């Protein structure tokens, strides 16, 4: 399949998967599959671990996929630019195939993503939590909602609003942004800060100057195609609090990340997490459970193929 076709295919898969009816109250359960599929979590963990050995990009992509799946659960990600994480969707397919063999028509794709996201965080040295399960997959293949994914150009007010639209507060925003302790960004997501920030300042003044010159070397002009980019913190395969330390040093990759350090509403939390990794881990686990409750659909179906409606 041509690359573009593949991308479209993956995108529609995620899109279909993510569209569900928002129910007012989530009633998910850590023991949801205890009777019906006791081996579910083991099979997912095994698949994720194996895939991550073959491709170290998998953990970050799965974590990001979970964020997107929760945020766009009730909407069509029609023209949203950020769809790179979908490249790890084959891991969800592999887990689904194993689960359909072990316990047919039982474990939803949305639950597989939620468990896989917990597993990649734990595998990378982060906290572990009990994943609440019992989500159904969306049945509706078309939605029209104004709430889309936040772009990396949002200011803090817009970020807070975007999270509040899903019932997540400022604390969740700062905490979940710590997901940027894993992974990588392409130039296109931050290049606007480097060469042509405003008429008066070519470079975003909130950036550490050495860091900015380093990024300019990696992304020398406004139209860098291809794979060039930057890891999101200096220990990008390790789940730790380094992301927050980098923000204090002016080395946040996205304007959104750095913006949170420069805003009174969010700065003290960043300082607290930079000083206390255990606190960050504890909060991250709690906020991931909240994120996993966003737009939960209990009235959909259990997909047989995570890319298609039954």
Q: Which is nearer to ligand HEM, 127 or 300 (CB)?
A: 127
Footprint of ligand NAG on 22-61 (CB under 6 A): 47, 50-51, 54
Closest C-alpha among 35, 129, 109 to residue 297: 109
| Minimum CB distance to ligand HEM, residue 186 (Å) | 4
In this structure, the number of other CB atoms found within 10 A of the CB of residue 50 comes to 12
Q: Which is nearer to ligand HEM, 229 or 300 (CB)?
A: 229
Residue 68 annotated among the catalytic residues of the structure: yes
Q: Which is nearer to ligand HEM, 33 or 280 (CB)?
A: 280
Closest C-alpha among 157, 309, 177, 305 to residue 253: 177
Distance (Å, rounded) from C-alpha 286 to C-alpha 175? Answer: 9
In sign, the C-alpha dihedral spanning 99, 100, 104, 109 is positive
9 Cβ neighbours under 8 A, 6+ residues apart: 1, 307
| Cα–Cα distances in angstroms (integers) from residue 44 to residues 55, 95, 109, 280, 292, in the given order | 16, 5, 11, 25, 17
- What letters, b where the CB count within 10 A reaches 16 and e where it falls short, cover 167-181? ebebebbbbbbbbbb
Closest C-alpha among 121, 114, 248, 132 to residue 180: 121
Identify whether the C-beta of residue 170 lies closer than 8 Å to the C-beta of residue 290.
Answer: no
Q: Is 176 in the site for ligand HEM (CB under 6 A)?
A: yes
What would the x/- binding string for ligand NAG be over residues 151 to 190, using CB under 6 A?
A: ----x-xx--------------------------------
Of 37-45, 120-128, 150-158, 242-250, the window that binds ligand NAG (rule: CB under 6 A) is 150-158
| Minimum CB distance to ligand HEM, residue 230 (Å) | 9
Q: Which does 13 bind (CB under 5 to 8 A by kind): ligand NAG, ligand HEM, none?
A: none
| Minimum CB distance to ligand HEM, residue 62 (Å) | 8
Of 5-13, 139-147, 183-191, 298-306, the window that binds ligand HEM (rule: CB under 6 A) is 183-191
Distance (Å, rounded) from C-alpha 232 to C-alpha 257? Answer: 10
Catalytic residue (one of 68, 180, 186, 195): 68
- Measured distance between the N- and C-terminal CA atoms of the chain, rounded to whole angstroms: 23
Q: Which does 106 bind (CB under 5 to 8 A by kind): ligand NAG, ligand HEM, none?
A: none
- Out of 7, 100, 106, 184, the only residue in the binding site for ligand HEM (CB under 6 A) is 184
Helix (H) or strand (E) holding 185: strand 184-186
Active site residues: 68
Residues that bind ligand NAG (CB under 6 A): 4, 7, 11, 47, 50-51, 54, 79-81, 83, 144, 155, 157-158, 196, 222
Residues that bind ligand HEM (CB under 6 A): 60-61, 63-64, 67, 82, 84-85, 150-152, 159, 176-177, 179-180, 182-186, 189, 254, 256
């Amino acid at each position: 399949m041509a690359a573009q076709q593949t991308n479209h295919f993956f995108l529609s898969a995620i899109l279909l998967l993510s569209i569900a009816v928002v129910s007012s109250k989530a009633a998910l359960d850590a023991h949801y599959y205890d009777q019906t599929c006791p081996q579910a979590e083991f099979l997912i963990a095994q698949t994720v671990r194996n895939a991550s050995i073959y491709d170290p990009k998998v953990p970050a992509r799965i974590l990001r996929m979970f964020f997107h799946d929760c945020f766009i659960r009730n909407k069509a990600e029609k023209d949203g630019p950020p769809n790179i994480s979908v490249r790890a969707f084959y891991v969800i397919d592999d887990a689904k195939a194993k689960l359909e063999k072990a316990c047919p028509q039982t474990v939803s794709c949305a639950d597989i993503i939620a468990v896989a996201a917990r597993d990649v965080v734990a595998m990378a040295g982060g906290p572990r939590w009990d994943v609440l399960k019992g989500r159904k997959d969306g049945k509706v293949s078309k939605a029209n909602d104004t709430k889309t994914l936040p772009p990396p150009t949002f200011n803090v007010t817009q970020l807070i609003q975007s999270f509040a639209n899903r019932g997540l507060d400022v604390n969740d925003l700062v905490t979940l942004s710590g997901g940027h302790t894993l992974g990588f960004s392409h130039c296109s997501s931050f290049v606007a800060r480097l060469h042509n920030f405003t008429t008066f300042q070519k470079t975003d003044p909130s950036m550490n100057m050495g860091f900015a010159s380093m990024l300019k070397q990696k992304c020398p002009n406004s139209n860098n195609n291809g794979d060039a980019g930057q890891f999101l913190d200096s220990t990008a395969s390790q789940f730790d609090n380094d992301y927050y330390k980098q923000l204090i040093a002016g080395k946040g990759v996205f304007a959104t990340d750095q913006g949170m350090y420069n805003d009174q509403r969010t700065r003290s939390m960043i300082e607290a997490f930079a000083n206390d990794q255990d606190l960050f881990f504890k909060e991250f686990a709690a906020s991931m459970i909240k994120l996993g409750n966003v737009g939960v659909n209990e009235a959909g179906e259990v997909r047989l193929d995570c890319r298609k409606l039954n």
